[in-house]
């Protein structure tokens, strides 16, 4: 089958894991009831921590823990592939990885990606700044995994600003990208759609971008606007600021035809 239903989940996560897991479970059940075969959750879906200390304290061992067990159970019970946004996984030395795991429809973890590019920026002159690397360990591996809906390249939020990562994913034959995110309202208003569409067009790939939205208990405000973009840069589905499900059908045959008649990926001259 060349067409598949995919979904991005938009959430306004809080600082309590149990509340977030209940909400994520409801939204994923809604998506699968509508036929979703692959679901992408947003960055920090299970915990929008009040501070670095809370995030590190919630860090799980690789492969087990409340959040990872939840994802495995939901994938198995709903019989759907899940990209588990990100969750904190212990990296040693009071540090964590921002890890994006992938579970198949049997509940088995088949891949995971640790966020490579960490958000150490001053967003504006009003003092909004972030220092993600203070307690988060950067990943080092580019990860692509075969799924029923296509060959999926994994990324997270700030990665979206680094086109070389997506080129590398495409070099590993990725046909779609997952982009779980918690874009700030400040940057999202100007850059979010632009960057997602650019990564899609540059690589003739689908982009499934699942976002956080609204004002969170830690005072952070995120942009929302979860979206699914096709390889020609068209936004196929989008949700503004309310939590919920963004879903559409993607067509792998149309993508293959586009890549054949518009072979920009073969025309590259610089590596």
Residue 13 CA to residue 41 CA, distance in Å, equals 11
**Is-catalytic flag, 140?**
no
Rounded-to-integer distance, Cα 98 and Cα 266, Å: 33
Active site residue 115: yes
Catalytic residue among 5, 23, 37, 157: 157
- Measured distance CA(134)–CA(95) in Å, rounded: 8
Among residues 23, 74, 115, 238, which one is catalytic? 115
Q: Dihedral of the CA atoms 130, 152, 41, 258 (nearest 10)? A: 100
Q: How many residues does the structure list for the chain?
A: 271
Closest by Cα among 190, 217, 104, 185 to 152: 104
Residue 119: closest CA among 163, 58, 161, 91: 161
Instruction: State how far the Cα of 164 lies from the Cα of 44, in Å rounded to an integer.
Output: 24
Tokens of 81: 């592939």
Active-site residue, from 43, 60, 137, 238: 43
43 flagged as catalytic: yes
Helices 163-171, 193-203: inter-axial angle, 10-degree rounding: 30
Place of tokens 């956080």: 212
**Token pair 């979703």: residue:** 36
Query: Is-contact 39 84, C-beta < 8 A?
Result: no
Residue with tokens 């559409």: 248
> How distant, in Å, are the alpha carbons of 31, 120, 223 from that of 48?
22, 17, 14
Active-site residues: which are they? 43, 115, 157
């Amino acid at each position: 089958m060349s067409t598949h239903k995919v979904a991005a989940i938009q959430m306004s996560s809080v600082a309590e894991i149990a509340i977030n897991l209940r909400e994520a479970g409801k939204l994923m059940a809604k998506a699968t009831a509508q036929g979703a075969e692959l679901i992408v959750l947003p960055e920090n879906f299970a915990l929008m921590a009040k501070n670095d200390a809370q995030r590190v304290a919630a860090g799980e061992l690789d492969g087990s823990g409340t959040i990872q067990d939840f994802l495995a159970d939901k994938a198995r019970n709903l019989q759907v592939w899940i990209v588990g946004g990100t969750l904190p996984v212990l990296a040693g030395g009071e540090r964590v990885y921002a890890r994006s795991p992938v579970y198949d429809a049997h509940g088995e973890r088949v891949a995971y990606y640790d966020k490579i590019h960490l958000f150490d920026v001053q967003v504006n002159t009003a003092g909004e700044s972030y220092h993600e690397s203070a307690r988060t360990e950067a990943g080092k591996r580019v990860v692509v995994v075969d799924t029923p809906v296509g060959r999926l390249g994994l990324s997270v939020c700030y990665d979206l600003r680094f086109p070389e990562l997506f080129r590398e994913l495409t070099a590993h034959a990725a046909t779609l990208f997952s982009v779980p995110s918690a874009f700030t309202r400040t940057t999202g208003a100007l850059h979010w759609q632009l960057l997602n569409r650019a990564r899609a067009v540059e690589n003739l790939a689908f982009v499934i971008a699942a976002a956080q939205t609204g004002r969170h208990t830690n005072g952070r405000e995120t942009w929302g606007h979860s979206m699914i973009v096709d390889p020609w840069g068209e936004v196929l589905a989008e949700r503004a600021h309310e939590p919920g499900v963004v879903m559409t059908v993607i067509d792998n045959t149309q993508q293959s035809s586009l890549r054949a008649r518009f072979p920009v990926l073969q025309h590259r001259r610089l590596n």
